Structure 1
Amino acid sequence: MTVTESGLAGRSNKRILAVVGFLVFVEFSSGFLQGYYLPLLDAVRDHLGVSDASIAWFITVQTLAAGVCVPILSKLGDIFGHRRILRIGIVTVLIGTVLVAWAPSYPLVLLGRVLTGPIAVWLPLELAIVHNQIQGETARRAVGMLISALTIGALIGSLAAGLSSSLLPSMAAQLMVPVVMVAISAVFVYTLVPESTARTSPVIDWLGFILLALFMLVLLAGIKAVTSQVGLGAALIAAAIVLIGVFVWWELRTGSPALNLRVLTSNRLWPVYVTSFLFGMVLFGTQSITTTFLAGRPELVGYGFGLSAGTISLTNGTNMLLAAIGAAVYAYIAKGISLKGVLILGSGTIAISQLLLIVGHASLPLVVVGIALAGFGSGLLLGGLPAATTEASPADETGIATGVYNSVKTLGGALAGAVFALILGLFVIPEAGASGVGGYISIWVICAAATGLCPVLLALIRPEKKPAATTSVPATTAAGQTSQSV
């Protein structure tokens, strides 16, 4: 390599690192927002003068909006450019956060929460941009940095919410903090992040998108409703099953499907997606479970340690910090045992943590160790699963592949949340008004079985060459030249 070529390569590497750094801040902001609002929920309820039942929609509408928009916007990124759709998503979230902070009525606040739904698609679009710019070990490390930033952002956002409630004079001022974070991210994405160059077929499968959106909306609504209105929830879930059946029938017959089901069900991707679903059950389904168990008063309910909210926050913070560490180091571990080995290690670690909770739930040190192991194992999966997804997907379908990963993980968490609530209800102690220890043990058994199955599924992954782009469509680069997708 000549001196000139070496200099060009050095500048290129610096540019790539700069791009990753800016995206890391964007993902940190995403995590910050997701961690910031929850601790302020009671204060927001009082500020708006609404009931406990009404304020629950503050979380619900955002979850539903995220579930609908992630696969759609991910696919549109593959068609029109991932940076372009990321820009749209960030502006939409920015408008939503402004509405949440300043809207004069609760319906407008809920509209703002709907507009923040696209925050869930930031990560899939960022991963697509990263894998369009860099490959190999550098790309894996970049993915780890993004996931680690997301996790740390959620932790700092939660802490910042408590700090802002003490320092800022009004609720509107406190709710402006997320606006500032998103605005800075928007500046980065509009000025410093390059566009991806690979494009899939520009033909849009509108019917497929509509069916997919309806399926996600109806299924998430049904899962939420089943815990309080069993009949309505069951009807909605049944309707969702019909919708997904019609969707699959249509996708297998159309020339330019919204989801390339043949690729998504290949032997390099389907074990990753099933693992993501089972992992989502543990990751999202047990968040409140851990808190209520640690807070349980043994003299009243026969379990728990009567920990204060501050101590529980510290324990949960340790879990999140170890998850961030796991996501940051997964690429280095993969160099020694392969990416599939990291996924098997991560899921196996979580399974062991659940077994530790089952047998050691009466010992605080063992419970803390179990929570810590679950955090580190989760970090390995949070970094490794999206990396495995992007590496196994065609170059022009990276966005939708990672969007599906995100969606199935969310669906796993939503389903587990509903099922686990029903299980706890079966073990209620009437005198205490709380679930008995049998409910918690049952949940940990399910989680241990789910994550224990993952290594078996992951072992079925067969190595093969990365699929070529299904359609080669010229795309304009930042330099004004055209390049073909690979």
Structure 2
Amino acid sequence: MSDTLARPVPGGSAPPRSNAVVAVLAFAGITVSLMQTLVIPIVPELPKFLNATPSNAIWAVTATLLAAAVATPVAGRLGDMYGKRRILLISLCLLVTGSVVCALSGSLVPMLAGRVLQGLSAAVVPLGISVMRDVLPAERLAGATALMSASLGVGGALGLPSAAFVADNFDWHVLFWISAALGAVAVLVVTFVVPESKVRTGGRFDLVGAAGLAVGLVSLLLAVSKGGDWGWTSPTVLGLFAVAVVVLVGWGGFELRTAEPLVDLRTTARRQVLFTNLASIALGFSMFAMSLVLPQLLQLPEANGYGLGKSMLVMGLILAPQGLVMMAMAPFSAALSRAKGPKVTLMTGALIVAAGYGLSIVLMAEVWQIMIASCVIGAGVGFAYGAMPALIMGAVPASETAAANSLNTLMRSIGTSFASAVAGVVLAQMTIEFGPATLPSQSGFRVVMAIGAGAALLSFALCAFLPRHRPAAVTGQGATAAPAASGEALLQADRG
């Protein structure tokens, strides 16, 4: 597809108030990202709350992951076709509905249904970034998209202590009533503040492509997320991996042949898009390694010699500053992208993340040390996540922005899923005996941190294959011209 397919929506609105649009979309992004950590404080109690076995109750976490993976690329394509703001609002309404269902649930099935609906809202951040491209002035775009991208980490970081406080002091259903209220506020402010994008692709939705991608992604992520519990060599896990490979290969062939694909694989194969997505997988892996290690270190008993014995609430408060640092880095990320290009910004962020892991390997004995290391990693993620949308939008037509940004978000999610699996294997193998319990060893934590540093350096190396510096800003306020609008220009840029 090309920009010639894009068509303005008749009766476009006047230029929006930029600050209000950015604030509202960032709030919506933070609200959706809260779903990542919402149930973590109550996971140990879920079997009792839902009258379910522990292995079944944990599906309240897994179901959201799977739903988000499927919904993100589908919602991106629908946004390009029918309006990004419209699909964003539908996503937020699904979040509200899912939260109400969870708040009213007292058993496993309605809880899972609600968590699936919450997961279907995951495309709000890439859709918000795409709306920004279409409605904001060009000079505001780099900083705004960096802030919106950082909202993924901010919501996750701030959500944990908030959820822990609520879970410790109120009935667990209150968590979901609060998320429903936040979602409802987001729906209202988006409705009244954010204008609809003028850029649409039209065409027909690729139902076969959506079904194929859903089956392939669910099989892959289910095998990765449950491999440790079910056994990596079990017939179920091996069968899921086989289904994922066969289905995704067949899906790719179908997408290349269809006239209006769910994902334009030819656009995805462009050097700038391809290597940005590969770097995103590596960086998503690296970021999540920290999220798995540092909370455990803070909560393990002090008597084992390296645990710090903190409650979940205190642990969340200790790690919350990293989210604020991530958001604070957004204007610096945008400034560096304007001066040197988003490629340099992404490489800088990857190096900062690697340095943060290096610090965490040697500084893990005190609370202040872990806080410093987590903030350094958060700063690096803030730089990197701010650069990714600029790289993607600098290489795709305006008519494909939402789909391309959604695919990039999916790549990060795949990286985090693999990080969880790898860290789980390492920590399960490197253990110590502590009374009747078996705990991950300090060496195991250090190995996971070293792997996280290696993943960040891999992201840095992948960035070296990106084309040379191109301006980060793209045309704002709904213009249909994009840096990648011409196929010949793209080929020349890729050779550069």
Distance 2:264 2:134 in 1: 19
Q: In structure 1, what is the equivalent of residue 214 of structure 2?
A: 213
Q: Secondary structure at the match of 1:353?
A: helix
Unaligned runs of 5+ in 1: 1-10, 471-486
2-structure distance, mates of 1:242, 1:179 = 39
Superposition deviation, residue 297 in structure 1? 5.1
Report Cα offsets for 1:353-389 as digits up to 9, x if no partner: 2223334556766554332211110111122212322
Pick closer, same or farther for the CA change 1:149–1:367 going to 2, 3 Å: closer
Which residue pairs with 1:467 in the alignment? 484
1:266 and 2:270 correspond: yes
Partner of 2:10: none
SS class of match (1:268): helix
1:390 to 381, 390, 393: 393
Report the AA paired with residue 420 of structure 1.
Answer: A
Q: Deviation at 1:241?
A: 1.2
2:351 aligned with 1:348: yes
Matched position secondary structure for 2:205? coil
Alpha-carbon distance in 2 for matches of 1:75, 1:13 = 25
- Give the 3 Å change call, closer, same or farther, for CA 127–285 of structure 1 in structure 2: same
Inter-CA distance 150–453: structure 2 relative to 1 (3 Å threshold):
closer
In structure 2, runs of 5+ residues without a counterpart are 1-12, 471-481, 488-496
What is the DSSP-based 3-state SS (H/G/I as helix, E as strand, rest coil) of the residue aligned with 1:392?
coil
The residue that corresponds to 1:319 in the other structure is 322
Quick one: structure 1 residues 353 and 21, their matched pair in 2 at CA, closer, same or farther if it must change by over 3 Å?
closer
CA distance in 1, matches of 2:345, 2:486: 27
CA offsets per residue over residues 188-247 of structure 1, 9 Å max, x none? 233332111222251322221111111111111111221122222222112211111111
- Structure 2 counterpart of 1:438, from 439, 443, 448: 443
- Paired with 1:25 and 1:447, the residues of 2 have a C-alpha distance of 29
Aligned to 2:452: 447
Give the direction of change, closer, same or farther, for the CA distance of 1:65–1:51 in structure 2 (3 Å limit): same
* Shift in alpha-carbon separation, 1:177–1:362, aligned structure 2, 3 A: closer
Q: CA deviation at 1:314?
A: 3.2
What is the CA–CA distance in structure 1 between the aligned matches of 2:428 and 2:177, rounded to whole Å? Answer: 38
**Contact 2:33/2:153 (8 A) holds in 1:** yes
2:255 and 2:261 in contact (8 A); partners too? yes
- What is the aligned partner in structure 1 of residue 51 from structure 2? 49
1:180 is displaced (CA, Å) by 0.9
The alpha carbon displacement at 1:125 in A equals 0.9
Change over 3 Å in CA distance of 1:56–1:256 after alignment to 2: same
Task: Measure, in 2, the Cα distance between the counterparts of 1:364 and 1:163.
Answer: 20
**Superposition TM-score, scaled by structure 1 size:** 0.86
SS at match of 1:429: strand
Distance between the aligned counterparts of 2:86 and 2:381, measured in 1? 31
> Are the aligned partners of 2:349 and 2:381 in contact in 1 as well (CA < 8 Å)?
yes
Q: Distance in 2 between matches of 1:103 and 1:306?
A: 33
- What residue in structure 2 maps to residue 256 of structure 1? 260
Match of 2:228 in 1: 227
Structure 1 pair 151–412 and aligned structure 2 pair: CA distance change class (3 A): closer
Deviation at 1:413, TM superposition (A): 0.8
Query: Quick one: distance in 1 between partners of 2:311 and 2:24?
Result: 38
Match of 2:296 among 292, 297, 313: 292
CA RMSD of aligned residues (A): 2.6
Measure how far apart 1:67 and its partner are.
0.8
Q: Deviations over 1:125-164 (max 9, x none)?
A: 1111110112534111111332344444444433333444
Of 89, 92, 106, the residue aligned with 2:94 is 92
Residue number among 251, 272, 279 corresponding to 1:275 in the alignment: 279
Residues 41 and 446 from structure 1, CA distance in 2 versus in 1: closer, same or farther, beyond 3 angstroms? closer
Is the Cα contact below 8 Å between 2:289 and 2:448 reproduced in 1? no
CA-to-aligned-CA distance 1:316-375 (integer Å, 9 cap, x gap): 112222222223431123333332111111001111222233345567665543322111
Q: Distance in 1 between matches of 2:418 and 2:373?
A: 23
| Percent of residue pairs identical | 26
Cα gap change, 1:258 to 1:426, in 2 (>3 Å): same
Distance in 1 (alpha carbons) for counterparts of 2:299 and 2:31: 30
> Which of 419, 425, 429 is the aligned partner of 1:422?
425
The structure-2 alpha-carbon separation of the partners of 1:116 and 1:379, relative to structure 1 and needing over 3 Å to count, comes to same
SS at match of 1:191: helix
The count of corresponding residues between Structure 1 and Structure 2 is 458
Q: Distance in 1 between matches of 2:273 and 2:130?
A: 16
> Structure 2: how far apart are the matches of 1:227 and 1:195?
44
Tell me if structure 2 keeps the 8 A contact 1:396–1:469. Answer: no
Q: Secondary structure at the match of 1:336?
A: helix
Deviation per residue, 1:99-145 (Å, 9 max, x gap): 01113532112111111112210011111111011253411111133
Partner residue of 2:163? Answer: 161
Per-residue CA deviation, residues 52-101 of structure 1 (Å, 9 max, x unaligned), is: 33321111111111111111111111111111211221222211111011
Q: Is the 8 A contact 1:224 1:233 kept in 2?
A: no
Residue from 241, 245, 251 that aligns with 1:247: 251
SS of the residue corresponding to residue 483 of structure 2 reads coil
The range that moved more, 448-457 or 28-37, is 28-37
Distance 1:149 1:67, change over 3 A: closer
TM-score (norm 2): 0.85
The answer as to whether partners of 1:147 and 1:328 remain within 8 angstroms in 2 is no
- Aligned AA for 2:73? P
- How far 1:265 sits from its partner (Å)? 1.6
What is the distance in 2 between the residues matched to 1:165 and 1:225? 26
User: Matched residue of 1:433: which SS?
Assistant: strand
**Counterpart for residue 4 of structure 1:** none
1:252 aligns to what SS in structure 2?
helix
Alignment of 1:16-415 (within 5 A): 16-42=18-44, 45-165=47-167, 168=170, 170-229=171-230, 230=232, 231=234, 232-296=236-300, 300=304, 303-307=306-310, 309-361=312-364, 367-415=370-418
TM-aligned CA distance change 1:91 to 1:314, over 3 Å = closer
SS at match of 2:160: helix
2:62 alignment partner AA: T
CA distance 1:332–1:53, change in 2 (3 Å) = same
Q: Report the alpha carbon displacement of residue 256 of structure 1 after superposing the two structures with TM.
A: 1.7
Aligned-partner SS, 1:269: helix
2: CA distance, partners of 1:364 / 1:106: 37
